[in-house]
Structure 1
Amino acid sequence: MNRPMNFEHLVTLFQKTHEEVQNRALRAINLSLVTRNWLFGQYIVEFEQHGADRAAYGANLVDALSTRLKQLGIKGVSATRLRLYRTFYREYQQIAQTSPDSLVKSSPANPIQPTLSGELIVAESMQALSPRFTLGWSHYIELLTLDDTAERRFYEIEAAANQWSVRELQRQIASSLYQRLALSRDKDEIRRLAFDGQIVEKAADLIKNPLVLEFLGLEDRPHYSEEELESAIIDQLEIFLLELGKGFLFEARQKRFTFDNDHFRVDLVFYNRLLRCYVLIDLKRNKLTHQDLGQMQMYVNYFDRYVKLSDELPTVGIVLCHRKNDALVELTLPKEANIFASKYQLYLPSKEELKAQLQEITNELKQGAGRGGNGELKMEGEK
């Protein structure tokens, strides 16, 4: 039986309902703004291509349009903004390609036309297009700074799926999340990042290389102890979970277990709800050794035998180190091991260096496709 509502509960109910309505209204306004800006960009592009008197304005079109629109009291129509809307339309022109024929008149060359002659009703156009955008305008401004279509698409998918704030999107772009994930994966999985985002289906999907910990605010110097690094991570645990990736829940720090009268401690213990398994992290402030990997193997074995439930997947072990030797890792660990070594760094990585490494892999894939291999990396719409 439900308890009767008292007056304070009544007030709280009103407050929560009002806040929810406000939040929904703000989200609706933001999406409408995105749609408006896309349409503004479309109008400019169409006029530049088909306008009856476009020759009279030429290169001065955007400046003249900005002046006239400001006189009408329309906000956000500076010449700089109008050029941005034009770029937005050009980069996201495919948004309209699946619009219902009942709402738009389309052609293969121009998915929506001719808006300038009045055949497209603005209200219907807004209604048809708004659901196709998933982020706020500030998010799209950040995305437009990316030249690579695959990279931009990846961040758009991830920002929407994880409800990233603009600030978090900026950090993920600055930390080269796309390149780090791509370089941590099998070559055949790189293309999937652009179409599906980060999909966590197996232990290897959790790995980023390197893991960037610039948010800890620590200088890049060699004499931090493992305890200092661990304490800094705990202080910034929420951001650290975001850097780790999807589905991570924090369980314990310095998790102690005893085996055969010996005491052991795992630096950090997490649980990943997507894989339904424990994830153990050991911090090494210097170069990775085979003893470090052996120690993690023992931790993983203990959790698999004495901690995890029968319906949970095998435990994953990650050794975070400042330096690592890939050949040593490959020689020490069996191929089927659920143990991974990943570098960490206390500063943002060189995006140019990561892009260069990723470009090498992309070129190999394209060469393989040219020889009839299955390394196809074409994007949608490419011939």
Structure 2
Amino acid sequence: MNNLPTKNKDLTQNIAQIIEQARKRVKQTINSTMVQCYWDIGRLLVEDEQQGQLRAEYGKYVLQNLSERLTAMYGKGFDVRNLRNMRQFYLAFPIRNALRTELSWTHYRSLIRIENPQAREWYLKEALEQNWSSRALDRQISVLYYERLLASQNKSLVNQEAEEKTEILKDSVQDYLRDPYILDFLNLQDKTYQESNVEQAIINNLQQFLLELGKGFAFVERQKRIRFDDEDFYIDLVFYNFKLKCFLLIDLKIGKLKHQDIGQMDTYVRLYDEQFKSDDDNPTIGLVLCSEKSEAIAKYSVLADRKQIFSAKYLPYLPTELQLKEQIEKARAFNSN
């Protein structure tokens, strides 16, 4: 009898697990059915439109009339805008068997607004592989994740990623880093913030920061102490990339990048390799994340070698699409030199 409470607890947990799994399957079934339903509606809209003579008139009158009828019959979800989304859904994904039921209708609504088919396919595969929520996918699209990746590596390698055939190359470290990093989720509104504020904000928003860092990164430690000649050094943030099989050291800097920042990171990387890198780890990467870069230092320092030490700019706010494209073009021009 003394074991009865424990047995009841275990029984409750087992039943709760079965219920949660069943609810998850029901949710997946509803989601899959909804995606296929909207695809079928989109197909019918396109086929009906193609039979008409005036497409402009179709969009203006037929969709409005159809929306009113469907709304009266089934309630919300069939306004003109959503019907247009269903139509565009079919046009963007014309092969029904190619639909991925792991993605929700909200995922697909974000994907159909991407005009570049290669970018759309890349985002779709990343959403599946990285298990992005619809909100995470929407953010990565809004900050031009694909375009920033193109700015930091060659186009063929990105296309290989989209086809899931990417191989990790010895000289591909820079392909896992990008410039700039968009840290709008840190909410650093006050321009007087210190480096310690940035570090703490990253820790508080670690999941989103890992998403911004990219594929394969895991958090290891903050303020990692390394010792040399009775002197202690502290590395702001340490990560590990399981695809590159190496550590990533990040040093946060406010203001313009300086020569001593690069020299300091070079020391960190050498000491870290000596004290913590295992034999089966690749050489450690050092990244100085600063609020303002220097082209002169980038050109006349170890940064020019682009081997293990890198710098990148972070933006504490979400820039306009034009501003972000300008940043990407600058990064692309630098990488092509």
Global fold match (TM > 0.5): yes
Query: In the alignment, residue 25 of structure 2 is paired with which amino acid?
Result: R
Contact in 2 for aligned 1:199/1:205 (Cα 8 Å): no
What's the secondary structure of 1:63's corresponding residue? helix
Q: 1:360 to 1:64 in 2, by over 3 A?
A: farther
Deviation at 1:304, TM superposition (A): 1.5
Which position in structure 1 is the counterpart of 2:91?
90
Which position in structure 2 is the counterpart of 1:144?
112
Contact in 2 for aligned 1:176/1:349 (Cα 8 Å): no
Which position in structure 1 is the counterpart of 2:18?
17
Query: In the alignment, residue 14 of structure 2 is paired with which amino acid?
Result: L
CA separation in 1, counterparts of 2:36 and 2:168? 32
- Residue by residue, what CA displacement relative to the aligned partner does 1:325-382 show, whole Å, maximum 9, x if unpaired? 24422421162621110101101133224446768999xxxxxxxxxxxxxxxxxxxx
Q: 2:185 aligns with which of 215, 219, 232?
A: 215
Are positions 1:158 and 2:126 aligned together? yes
How do 1:102-141 and structure 2 match up within 5 A? Answer: 129=97, 132-141=100-109
CA separation in 1, counterparts of 2:100 and 2:194? 49
Query: In the alignment, residue 16 of structure 1 is paired with which amino acid?
Result: Q
Aligned length: 324
Which position in structure 2 is the counterpart of 1:323?
292
What's the secondary structure of 2:281's corresponding residue? coil
Specify the structure having the higher radius of gyration (Cα). Answer: 1
Q: 1:352 to 1:290 in 2, by over 3 A?
A: same
Quick check: 191-200 or 57-66, which moved more? Answer: 191-200
Which position in structure 2 is the counterpart of 1:183?
151
CA separation in 1, counterparts of 2:24 and 2:177? 35
CA separation in 1, counterparts of 2:67 and 2:77? 9
Contact in 1 for aligned 2:179/2:328 (Cα 8 Å): no
Are positions 1:352 and 2:322 aligned together? yes
Contact in 1 for aligned 2:173/2:307 (Cα 8 Å): no
Contact in 2 for aligned 1:41/1:88 (Cα 8 Å): yes
Which position in structure 1 is the counterpart of 2:309?
339
Contact in 2 for aligned 1:277/1:312 (Cα 8 Å): yes
What's the secondary structure of 1:6's corresponding residue? helix
Query: In the alignment, residue 211 of structure 2 is paired with which amino acid?
Result: L
Q: 1:307 aligns with which of 255, 267, 276?
A: 276
CA separation in 2, counterparts of 1:28 and 1:20? 12
CA separation in 2, counterparts of 1:204 and 1:360? 16
Contact in 2 for aligned 1:266/1:282 (Cα 8 Å): yes
Give RMSD over aligned pairs. 3.1
What's the secondary structure of 2:278's corresponding residue? coil
Are positions 1:249 and 2:218 aligned together? yes
Q: 1:345 to 1:78 in 2, by over 3 A?
A: closer
CA separation in 2, counterparts of 1:155 and 1:300? 33
CA separation in 2, counterparts of 1:27 and 1:199? 32
Deviation at 1:207, TM superposition (A): 0.8
Which position in structure 1 is the counterpart of 2:139?
171
Which position in structure 2 is the counterpart of 1:116?
none
- Residue by residue, what CA displacement relative to the aligned partner does 1:151-182 show, whole Å, maximum 9, x if unpaired? 32222222222122222222222222222222
Q: 2:175 aligns with which of 205, 223, 236?
A: 205
How do 1:222-237 and structure 2 match up within 5 A? Answer: 223-237=192-206
- Residue by residue, what CA displacement relative to the aligned partner does 1:106-153 show, whole Å, maximum 9, x if unpaired? xxxxxxxxxxxxxxxxxxxxxxx3754441001111222333333322
Contact in 2 for aligned 1:158/1:198 (Cα 8 Å): no
Q: 1:347 to 1:30 in 2, by over 3 A?
A: same
Query: In the alignment, residue 19 of structure 1 is paired with which amino acid?
Result: E
Which position in structure 2 is the counterpart of 1:282?
251
Contact in 1 for aligned 2:111/2:120 (Cα 8 Å): yes
Q: 1:199 to 1:245 in 2, by over 3 A?
A: farther
Q: 1:276 to 1:295 in 2, by over 3 A?
A: same
**Which segments of 5 or more consecutive residues in structure 2 lack a partner in the other structure?**
333-337
Quick check: 160-169 or 140-149, which moved more? Answer: 140-149
CA separation in 1, counterparts of 2:134 and 2:166? 19
CA separation in 2, counterparts of 1:85 and 1:289? 52
Write out the 4+ residue segments of structure 1 that deviate beyond 6 Å after TM superposition: 197-200, 359-362
Query: In the alignment, residue 320 of structure 2 is paired with which amino acid?
Result: S
CA separation in 1, counterparts of 2:326 and 2:205? 31
The higher-RCO structure (CA 8 Å, 6+ apart) is 2
